[in-house]
Amino acid sequence: MQPDPVSPTNRYTVLFVDDEANILRSIRRVLHKTDVNVLLANSGQSVAAGHPVGGESI
């Protein structure tokens, strides 16, 4: 899943990790029009290894 575009109005960046794609899509949908830059990952292992999340490095 791709991160929301970063704009000057995105004041916060939040990383959500869940192995259920439906949960991650729901989070993205709910926060889509907020000032939150949403990063999504489907495993903690990939985040801990420093792998890119949605095209962005952590």
pLDDT digits (tens, 9 = 90+) for 3-41: 555 555 658 889 999 999 999 999 999 998 888 888 889
The predicted structure's pLDDT at residue 33: 87
Give, in degrees to the nearest 5, the angle at Cα 56 between 52 and 58. Answer: 65
Residue 57: what pLDDT?
A: 58
Is residue 49 pLDDT above 90, yes or no? no
Rounded-to-integer distance, Cα 29 and Cα 33, Å: 8
Q: What is the pLDDT of residue 45?
A: 86
Q: Does residue 46 register a pLDDT over 60?
A: yes
pTM for this structure? 0.67
